[in-house]
Structure 1
Amino acid sequence: MDENNKKIGRNKKDSNDDMINLVDNLNRQDDVKYNRRSFLKATVGASVTLGLATLPFSIKAMMDDGAKDVNRVEIAKLSDVPKGESFKFGYPTEDDMALLVHTKNGQLKAYNSKCTHLSCPVFYESTKDVLLCPCHKGYFNVSTGHPMAGPPQRELPLIELEVIDDVIYAVGRKIRHG
């Protein structure tokens, strides 16, 4: 065979320029080991593995009916807290100060009475029907516990109430965000 009729291999050009024959400088083993498809397979495999590892916890959370031990604490008699007044008590422990408010329109609301800004005590201001933190003039809505003015950004933890035979009980606490 003469030089003009020599057979050119697959993916090869009749040139010695490295930029034209780029396939020659690839190592097949490195190409298989470090390509995008292998990376994506490893990523998907790791995601599936982590998902399966958390599956038992997800199933337990779905099967939990939400029934917890009721931490029922007697606060006061309804007749002892007139409309437009408040009552201090401890919940869930005696050291966690809380505030029961019997609003002017007859609602019963209770919140932990530590301001969510710097933990100063919160008081019921009956003339304005708001909860007030006097340290930095923080105001909270008495119906929802959400901040209305001042530096507090988070709402007060809500204490769930029950009234049975003229007795007010604290039965749970919700720490809400949003």
Structure 2
Amino acid sequence: MDNKKKLARNKYETNDDMINLIDNLNRDDDVKYNRRAFLKTAVGASVTLGLATLPFSIKAMMNTAGEDDKRIAIAKLSEISKGQSLNFNYPTDEDPAILVHTKDGKFVAYNNKCTHLQCPVFYEKEQDVLLCPCHKGYFDVKSGHPLAGPPQRELPRIELEIVDDTIYAVGRKVRHG
């Protein structure tokens, strides 16, 4: 069977373009653009993207593991009396934090950025709350949970450890709920 007869067997005797749509198909294109080729390309692209992001994933895991191991001295117990607060930076010099010696004698520390728009948070001794003055956001000083205003998420807590007469920041706990 010659090429003209092969092409003519699917052709109908009509001038309607919709019936003769298969004229533009070629068997080579059919083999080149099939499901198997598409799946090979999709899997190859997925593997390539996965391998390209692997170094960033490993670096992120290594950074979070190192962050928990940081231990920084914040202050001496005698430097901060009940009802006072102290600003410091943790875990890096660019991350502001606040240490509060509550009225009932406990020490708590949080990131010093409001979870609404990153404004600084201040300790309000009279009301025993953390206040964000930008939009009147209030946080519970004991738990870091929002009490009023626009903030919807609690402040990330900084874990503390007291050894001898020194208060240390030893880790950060980001909580949701």
TM-score (norm 1): 0.66
Show the counterpart of 1:74: 74
**What are the equivalent positions in structure 2 for 1:52-91 lying under 5 Å apart?**
52-55=51-54, 58=57, 66-68=65-67, 70-77=70-77, 80-82=80-82, 85-91=83-89
Please state if 1:159 is matched with 2:124.
Answer: no
Moved more, 17-26 or 86-95: 17-26
Moved more, 131-140 or 88-97: 88-97
Alignment coverage as a number of residue pairs: 168
Distance in structure 2 (CA, Å) of the matches to 1:119 and 1:67:
24
| Contiguous gaps of at least 5 residues in structure 2 | none
Percent identical among aligned pairs is 62
Moved more, 134-143 or 86-95: 86-95
| Contiguous gaps of at least 5 residues in structure 1 | 1-7
The letter for the 2-side match of 1:159 is I
The letter for the 1-side match of 2:31 is V
What is the CA distance between 1:58 and its match in structure 2? 4.7
* SS of the residue 2:147 aligns to: strand
Q: Which has the larger radius of gyration?
A: 1
What is the CA distance between 1:162 and its match in structure 2? 1.1
Show the counterpart of 1:171: 170
RMSD: 3.9
| Structure (1 or 2) with the greater helix fraction | 2
TM-score (norm 2): 0.66
The letter for the 1-side match of 2:65 is G
Contact 1:79 1:166 in 2 (8 A): no
The letter for the 2-side match of 1:164 is V
What is the CA distance between 1:170 and its match in structure 2? 2.3
**What are the equivalent positions in structure 2 for 1:29-108 lying under 5 Å apart?**
29-55=28-54, 58=57, 66-68=65-67, 70-77=70-77, 80-82=80-82, 85-92=83-90, 97-108=96-107
Distance in structure 2 (CA, Å) of the matches to 1:108 and 1:89:
13
The letter for the 2-side match of 1:144 is S
Distance 1:30 1:177, change over 3 A: farther
What is the CA distance between 1:160 and its match in structure 2? 2.5
Show the counterpart of 2:13: 16
Distance in structure 1 (CA, Å) of the matches to 2:88 and 2:33:
62
What is the CA distance between 1:14 and its match in structure 2? 9.4
